[in-house]
Amino acid sequence: MKYLKTNDERCVGCMGCASACSRMYFKEDNPAKSRIQVNGIGKNAFHLIACDQECRKCVQECPTQALTVSKTGVVTLNRSLCVGCLACVAVCPIEAMRYFPGDKNPFKCIACGTCVKACPKEAIEIAEKDESDASRAWERIIALVAKEERA
C-alpha cells in the first residue's frame, strides 16, 4: 500500500508541507486545514502526523461506507456518501483524520505527494508497504456478516 512516510528527525518545522496541503485541497494557507500535521514537541523537535493507511479503524467505523480503501491501498473519503458524523475522527488512534469546525466533511492524507515536493529537508516521502493483519481486519469483519451468496 502507498502511504506518506514521515521522518521526524529531519523536520525543521517550516510548515511548508501543511501550507502546500491546505492550498492544494482548500485553496487557502491554513495549517488547521492541512492533512499533515506538524506538532512542536520541544526545542527544535517536531512530530509529523499523517494517516499511515494501515489501521483502517475509520473504514471499519464509517456507517455509510464513505471511507473505503482504494486499489493502491489508500483510505479515501467519498464526500457524497459522508454524513459528517465524525466517528472516524474519534476512532483514529493518531488523530490523522481531521475536520475543520463547521465544514461538513472530515479529511485525511491520501498520500498524494503534494507535501513531499514542498519539504526542503526530505522529512516526508511517498513509500510502499505490505498489507498487514490489521489492514485487512475491516474486510474479514464484512466477510463474516455479509449475505453468504455474495460473500
Footprint of another protein (CB under 8 A)? 60-65, 82-87, 89-91, 99, 101-102, 104-105, 137, 141-142, 144-148, 150
> Which phi-psi region, left, alpha or beta, contains residue 134 (left: φ > 0; alpha: ψ -120 to 50)?
alpha
Nearer to another protein, 1 or 67 (CB): 67
Instruction: State how far the Cα of 117 lies from the Cα of 112, in Å rounded to an integer.
Output: 10
Nearer to another protein, 85 or 112 (CB): 85
C-beta atoms surrounding 50 within 10 Å: 24
Q: How would you class 98 by CB atoms within 10 Å of its CB: exposed for 0-12, middle for 13-18, buried for 19 or more?
A: buried
Q: How far is the CB of 63 from another protein (least distance, A)?
A: 5
Nearer to another protein, 42 or 101 (CB): 101
Contacts of 108 (CB under 8 A, 6+ apart): 35, 51, 58, 75, 77, 96, 97, 98
Nearer to another protein, 13 or 31 (CB): 31
Q: How would you class 112 by CB atoms within 10 Å of its CB: exposed for 0-12, middle for 13-18, buried for 19 or more?
A: middle
Nearer to another protein, 45 or 86 (CB): 86
Q: How far is the CB of 58 from another protein (least distance, A)?
A: 10
> 3-class DSSP state for residue 10?
helix
Q: How far is the CB of 106 from another protein (least distance, A)?
A: 9
